[in-house]
A and B are shown apart, each in its own frame.
Chain A
Amino acid sequence: MRSSTIARPPAPKAPKPVRVQAEHGKPVAVAGVRVEEVREDWIVEDRWWTEQPIHRHYWELITVAGRNVVVFHDKLIDRWFSQTA
C-alpha cells in the first residue's frame, strides 16, 4: 500500500515563528518561558541590493528552564522567529 507523499522539507536551519514578549525591543520571555540572561545580540543586514532584503536583530538567550535559544526580530515584517545558529 502506498503511503502519503512527503512534502519537500524546509531548509535545515529555516526560521520558525515563535511567540516572544519584548520590553523596549529586548526579549523577556520566549514561548511563555522567562528569559534569565541575554548572552549576545547582533544585527544582520544582508541582500539589501535584492528584492528580498534581510534585516534582523538576533538574540542569544538563556531561559529560566536552562535552554539556550536564538531568536531574531525581523525588522521588515515586525515578527519574531527562533532559529538554530
Chain B
Amino acid sequence: MIVCVHLPRFELVAAAGGPEALTGRALAIAPSGSGPARVGEVSGTAQAQGVQQGMMLGEALARCPALELVPGDPVQVAHSWERTACALEGIGAQLELARPGLAYFDGDGLRGLHGGDDGLILATRKALARPARIGVAPSRFCSLAAALETRTRRVRRVGERDVRRYLAVQPVGILSYRSQTAALVASLQQLGLGKLGALVKLTAAEIADRFGEPGTTARRLALGHDTPLRVRRVEDRLAESMQLEEANSGLLLERTLGVLVDRLLARPQRHGRTVRAITLSARLAERGTWRESVVFREALSDPRRIRLALSQRLQLLPAPATALQLAVEEFGPAGGDQGGLLDGEHTARLARLQDAVGQVRTLAGPHAALRALVVDPRSRVPERKVLYAPWQQ
C-alpha cells in the first residue's frame, strides 16, 4: 500500500515563518520575478475570499483588497522539506518527493516494523511533528486523492477493491498534481467532465484521439493504474556556502561561485565522484531568497565546466545576493568519462581537415582558406567585429 503524506500550504508556512502566522490573515506568496504575475500558495482566509493559487495578482487583489503578499523563500522551503524528508526516512520510509509538502512511500515493508497500519501512521505523524493529511491506497494517484480528501489529522484508507469506485467520484482537478496531466484539467472541465468517472466512461481510443498521450495517462490513473514509486537515494548531503560582506552581483558573484565550486570538489566526502545535479541558492539583498536547480548534461568533476554551467544561471538572480550556497543534489559515477589514451577518430579527422586545407591552398593560393577571428564582437563599427586571419597548419 502506498502512503501519501500531504502537508498543505507548505511553501507559504515556510515563507510566512510558521503555521501560526497564517491564522486569520489573508496571505499569498508574491509572484516571482519572472513570468506572469500570478500568486503562489494562499492562506485559508484568502481562499475563503475567493483567492486561488495561480490567480493573476490583479484579480487576487480585486477579490481580496486586504491580501498580504509574502515573498517566496525557496531556500527555507528546501531546508524545511529536507528536514521533513530526513525525519520520514528515519522511520524507514523510502520516499518519492513529488514537491515540497507532498511525498509518497510504500508502507508494506514497514508495517511489521511499527506494529501494523496504525503503528505506521502513528510513527509517520511523530516524524512529521506537524498536522498532515495522510492517504493510504494501492496506487500513488489513489493515495493522493485520499490524502486530499481527508481532513488534517485524519487518515483515509482505500482498499484494493474500492479503488475504481473511489476514484470515479473524485474531481478531475486531482490530475493537476501530475505534470503529465496538469494541462488537461481545464479542457476536461470545459467539456463538462468534472469527475474522473466521466473520463473512464470514454473509451481509450476516444481519449487518445482527443487528448493524446496525456489523456491516456489520465485514464490509466483514473482506473487505478500507476507507475512504481521513484524513490530518492539516500546520500551524503554536500554543501558549501559563503556570506558576502556586501551585496554582490555580476563578476564578483561569479568569483564567489568559483571559490565555492573549488571547495565543494575538494571535500573528501565526495570520494572522487562526479556531480550530476547541483542546487544553487542565494539570499537576496532585498527580502527573500532564490533557488535554482541545475542538472548537468553529463556528470562532471571539472571545476571549469561546472563554473561555466552555473554562471549562466547566476544571471537569473533577481537582485544582488548577500549569501551564496552550492549543494550537490545528485552524484554521478566516480571518475566520469575516461577518454581513450589516443583519440584516433579526432586525430584522423583533424589530419583530413589539414590535408584538405593544404590541397585548397595549393590550388587557389594562400587566401583560399582563412580563419574568421572574432576580435571585438561589441564594436560599433561592424567591419571590426570579425577579421580573417591565416589558417594555422
Residues of B within 8 A of A15 (CB): 382-383
| A residues 1-57 in Cβ contact with B at 8 Å | 2-9, 11-15, 44, 46, 54
Chain A's nearest CB lies how many Å from the CB of B361?
9
Question: Is the C-beta of A68 less than 8 angstroms from some C-beta in chain B?
Answer: no
Band of interface residues on B = 10 to 19
Report if A2-B387 is in contact (Cβ < 8 Å); known contacts: A44-B380, A44-B381, A83-B382: no
Residues of B within 8 A of A2 (CB): 363
Residues of A within 8 A of B383 (CB): 11-15, 83
Chain A's nearest CB lies how many Å from the CB of B193?
47
Report if A12-B380 is in contact (Cβ < 8 Å); known contacts: A6-B365, A6-B368: no
> Is the CB–CB distance between A11 and B368 below 8 Å?
no
Band of interface residues on A = 10 to 19
Cβ proximity bits B348-391 to A, threshold 8 Å, 1 near / 0 not: 00000000000000011101101010000000111111111000
Chain B's nearest CB lies how many Å from the CB of A11?
5
CA distance A2 to B384 in the complex (A): 34
Residue of A nearest to B360 (CB): A6
Residues of B within 8 A of A7 (CB): 365, 367
Cβ proximity bits B328-365 to A, threshold 8 Å, 1 near / 0 not: 00000000000000000000000000000000000111
CA distance A5 to B384 in the complex (A): 26
> Is the CB–CB distance between B365 and A5 below 8 Å?
yes
Question: Is the C-beta of A85 less than 8 angstroms from some C-beta in chain B?
Answer: yes
Residues of B within 8 A of A85 (CB): 382
Of A3, A14, A84, the residue contacting B364 (CB under 8 A) is A3
Report if A11-B388 is in contact (Cβ < 8 Å); known contacts: A3-B363, A6-B364, A6-B368: yes
Given contacts A5-B365, A8-B388, A9-B367, 14 further A-B contacts (CB under 8 A): A2-B363, A7-B367, A11-B383, A11-B384, A11-B386, A11-B387, A12-B372, A12-B383, A13-B382, A13-B385, A15-B383, A44-B380, A44-B381, A83-B382
A-B CB contact pairs (8 Å), 29 listed = A3-B363, A4-B364, A5-B364, A5-B367, A6-B364, A6-B367, A6-B368, A7-B365, A7-B367, A8-B388, A9-B367, A9-B370, A9-B388, A11-B383, A11-B384, A11-B386, A11-B387, A12-B383, A12-B385, A13-B382, A13-B383, A13-B385, A15-B382, A15-B383, A46-B380, A54-B381, A83-B382, A83-B383, A85-B382
Interface residues of B (CB under 8 A from A): 363-365, 367-368, 370, 372, 380-388
Interface residues of A (CB under 8 A from B): 2-9, 11-15, 44, 46, 54, 83-85
